[in-house]
Amino acid sequence: MEVASWLRKCILSRLHGFDVHFWDSKGTVPTDLRDTNVLVTFSADHNILNSFPRLRLLQVWGAGTDRIDVQAAADLGIRVMAMEGAAARAIAEWVVLMVLFWERNLALWTASGASGTWTWAERYALPFSELTARTLGIVGCGPVGSEVARVASLLSMRVLAVRVRKELPAPPGVTLLGGIDSLPNLLSRADYLSLHCRLSEETRGLIDMRALSFMPRSAVLLNAARGELVVEKDLAVVLRHGRIRGASLDTTAIEPLPPESLLIGIPNIVITCHQAGFTNQAVERGLLILKNNIVHLIESEGSAGGRQ
């Protein structure tokens, strides 16, 4: 089922009785949606926002508002809300899955096991390490980064972090190294570096050739945030030359990867097709956030009328 049809069905089945509509941000705005008060979408620029004269709440289906012209929305009196934290648990599980995938070298051993080509000599050659001996570095300590830290701490991993708003306290179980200016320190100390910060002018291209040069050769990059946080051509060079062990990317700058992408064909990369936060429970939490935001809008402004 196409994503637009699937999401529209979810919204209608869970939020019947509310004046809420979904649009997939593609093409021109359908005429029958122009009078909606509440819109769920992925992205919207100034022109799109002006196509909804009665719009009062724009709910992003996702954790960030980087694909919304937030200033234009504010000028038009439209509230913009994201679903922060809805997929936090799901993404934390993805991080653990990827850490164990690399730590236990599952790509090699599942292939060897299925083909019957492994030997006892290979099996005894190098024992694995338990996660108690590993350090997880986290960039961004919002709802997702904090949940990742909590779950990693339960597995007795050492958790270090940097955050954009360094004046905020560290989540439980986290050693906060400072702000983004402390990233080189984090990079040099992490066995696994997991990105969970918002995309902004400050963080776009955060993981470039210089940043990657601080990572140990044994380190692995994990990204379940925004693809644009990583300079993909730099990552491709680093991976092909074995300067870091590998990378697990749930998101890339263009999805799916175009045929000309430099990331295609690299053996030490895992791409999971934007599925890290896609669970039944995450969807239900997202719909609950949407419902609560609509109720709050009705209670604070009244249920009648549009923008003045």
> pLDDT tens string for the chain (308 positions)?
456 677 777 776 667 667 788 888 888 888 888 899 999 999 999 999 999 999 999 999 998 999 999 999 999 999 999 999 999 999 999 999 999 999 999 999 999 999 999 999 999 998 999 999 999 999 999 999 999 999 999 999 999 999 998 888 899 999 999 999 999 999 999 999 999 999 999 999 999 999 999 999 999 999 999 999 999 999 999 999 999 999 999 999 999 999 999 999 999 999 999 999 999 999 999 999 998 998 888 888 754 444 54
Q: Where are the domains of the chain?
A: 3-85+280-301, 88-271
Topology annotation, domain 88-271: Rossmann fold (3.40.50)
The pLDDT, as a whole number, for residue 125 is 93
The pLDDT, as a whole number, for residue 298 is 84
Which whole-number Å values give the CA distances from 26 to 6, 29, 54, 167, 253, in the listed order?
15, 8, 20, 39, 18
Q: Is 201 labeled as catalytic in the residue annotation?
A: no
Fold agreement (3-85+280-301, 88-271): yes
Backbone angles phi, psi at 237, to 5 degrees: -60, -45
Cα 200 from Cα 194, distance rounded (Å):
17
Please give the DSSP secondary-structure letter assigned to residue 132: G
Written as one letter, the residue type at 194 is S
Q: Given 202, 255, 284, 301, which residue is catalytic?
A: 255
Topology annotation, domain 3-85+280-301: Rossmann fold (3.40.50)
Q: Is 196 labeled as catalytic in the residue annotation?
A: no
The pLDDT, as a whole number, for residue 16 is 63
Across-strand partners of 246? 220
The pLDDT, as a whole number, for residue 303 is 47
Q: Given 56, 189, 196, 226, which residue is catalytic?
A: 226
Please give the DSSP secondary-structure letter assigned to residue 40: E
Q: Given 79, 150, 245, 274, which residue is catalytic?
A: 274
Q: Is 226 labeled as catalytic in the residue annotation?
A: yes
Block residue for tokens 């992925």: 42
